[in-house]
A = this chain, B = another copy of it.
């Protein structure tokens, strides 16, 4: 049995590291690079390096940016008295895309997860406490997972007594969903959180 040339195997291994990319997909990707014109491969390699060089973390919100502080933190039109707390830098763009929030963000950089050895000191929590001046609204937007909920409760507790309004995203039926296919936990939250119409 003759095996795939080393340089391709190395690229397959690099691609396999990505989340959600298995060995087979990685192999297809590597062969795709092989077949595509040389300048496309150069561009791919260049884009990877370029991004790593240009992108830094905002010293205020810990989001990603090409200039520090980031465009959101320095935008005078954003409401600095409303801070949305998210787990990851990518989450910021989920809100920005929906245009649902006009305040500023604070990226935790993860969630509390004792099993993985991630405690409060591993997250950007201290900076948040400093930013949450009295009168601020803090919207906790961690993921609706066990760790996300625990992190949100932890932060709410820290902010208690600081005259900060702490809220979190509503739980309920996703738009376009079908009652028949929605899990019990979501149905329960939707019922608990029912609103008058």
A52 interfacial contact with B, CB 8 Å: yes
Residues of B within 8 A of A96 (CB): 1-3
Number of copies of this kind of chain in the complex:
2
Q: Which residue of B lies closest to A70 (CB)?
A: B2
Q: Which residue of B lies closest to A46 (CB)?
A: B45
Residues of B within 8 A of A145 (CB): none
Interface residues on A, range: 35 or more
Secondary structure class of chain A's binding surface, majority of residues:
helix
| Interface core residue of A6, A49, A52 (most chain B CB under 10 Å) | A52
A42 interfacial contact with B, CB 8 Å: yes
Which segment of A11-19, A129-137, A163-171 sits at the interface? A11-19
Given A3-B93, A55-B8, A93-B4, CB of A29 within 8 Å of CB of B34? no
A111 interfacial contact with B, CB 8 Å: no
9 cross-chain CB contacts under 8 A:
A7-B54, A21-B25, A27-B90, A28-B90, A31-B88, A33-B51, A34-B89, A41-B51, A44-B48
